[in-house]
Amino acid sequence: MAHTMPQMQRTMDDAFVNTWYEIKPDVVDNVLEATILTLALKEHGCFQSRAGGTYGWEDTTGYGDKDVKTQRFQKGSTLDQQPVPLDTYARLDWRFFCVDINRSFVDDQTNMGKYQIKSYLARRLEAARNALVRDIETYLFQWGNYYAAPKQPNGIWDCVAPQTALSTASDGSDSDTQASGTSNGHISRANAWWRNWVMYDGAGDTSYADFTAQTNPPYSLNLIPDMRHFWNCITANMEPPNFIITTQDIYEAYEDEGVDRMQVVRTAFNRKALDLGFESQTYKGATFTYSNKMPANHMLMLNLNYLTMNYHPGAWFDMTNWKETANQLERVAYIVCMTPGLATAQPRRHGVAVWAS
């Protein structure tokens, strides 16, 4: 019995969907291991499943500075009451992104043969995978700016804001600065306890979450002493960063300046990164690497134990039904992802350094 055209379309639909879900676990791993930042987030457990909820990320956050003081008293003293808010609520909305897979009646028919169909599926799905790799990396190195760019997932610059705003995103917006903006959890960075550390070329304020020093020289003159001092500021003799990412120029300057003192012992993560083809070193036990997505003269020191990227398990690299284009013989399906992006409930665990040009 001959197959009808709708039957053949359904056969091809099923072939794509079944193939995608067969390879999905490997595809997700490949996507998240394709760039050094996503690999670091994956290996440190930052990707966390969160099914549903009004917000994609939420956290009850204690104020960093309490304005409660002890009182001295004696017999007959009148005591003051000092009620202060102790907690606030940080949250991020869900964000969605997708990549389309397109087919045409002509391509379906010319690739229906026994030997053509597998390569036909592979070409279409590989194109989708490559788009996801490219765009997820781009998203993570951008900023959400929930008011100006409501579709953009939170990126690393929402969690770790520099002293001077980065500009400009595709929508014309600027990022938060270290002391202003609300992109990390809708809490104002005007609160000193909700700021990350910064080291920059110029003067700054004196809050505990700000590194203030004399004007910094170019990184080529004083890189390693600057790194050591900034590392100690973030660590505060408690918990150090475990991941450092910078530009290729600064990374090479570090290699030039520190070649005689460079640590040859590699962590488990460094070994995996090396196996996957990523260049990295170890600085005080932390992975030190670079990306061409980093702005010029910038370095991030992160504690990945305090970075989270939630995702919805029912919409994480999942494929929709096939849809027909009106008045055409074209069909499209989408691979969808649902995540608020990156978030941190402890900005003080992270820092960004910016050197003079």
Counting as low any pLDDT under 70, the low residues of the chain are 1-3, 5, 63-68, 83-86, 111-115, 145-150, 169-171, 201-217, 258-266, 357
- Long-range contact set of residues 316-322: C-beta below 8 Å, sequence gap at least 24: 316/28, 316/49, 317/24, 317/27, 317/28, 317/31, 317/132, 318/24, 319/16, 319/17, 319/20, 319/21, 319/101, 321/13, 322/9, 322/13, 322/16, 322/103
CATH, range 5-51+90-142+191-354: 3.90.1690
Residues 21-69: tens digit of each pLDDT: 888 888 899 899 889 999 999 999 999 999 878 899 998 877 655 566 7
Please give the pLDDT value at position 235. Answer: 92
258 CB neighbour count, 10 Å cutoff = 16
pTM for this prediction? 0.84
Using an 8 Å Cβ cutoff, are 200 and 226 in contact?
no
Please give the pLDDT value at position 265. Answer: 55
Measured CA to CA, the distance from residue 159 to residue 57 in angstroms comes to 13
Please give the pLDDT value at position 211. Answer: 43
Measured CA to CA, the distance from residue 56 to residue 154 in angstroms comes to 11
Residues 119-147: tens digit of each pLDDT: 777 888 888 888 998 889 889 998 886 65
Which residue in the block uniquely carries the two structure tokens 């193939």?
Answer: 19
Please give the pLDDT value at position 147. Answer: 56
Q: What distance lies between CA 330 and its chain's CA centroid?
A: 35
Please give the pLDDT value at position 342. Answer: 95
Measured CA to CA, the distance from residue 182 to residue 185 in angstroms comes to 7
Please give the pLDDT value at position 206. Answer: 37
Q: Is the peptide bond before 246 cis (omega within 30 degrees of 0)?
A: no
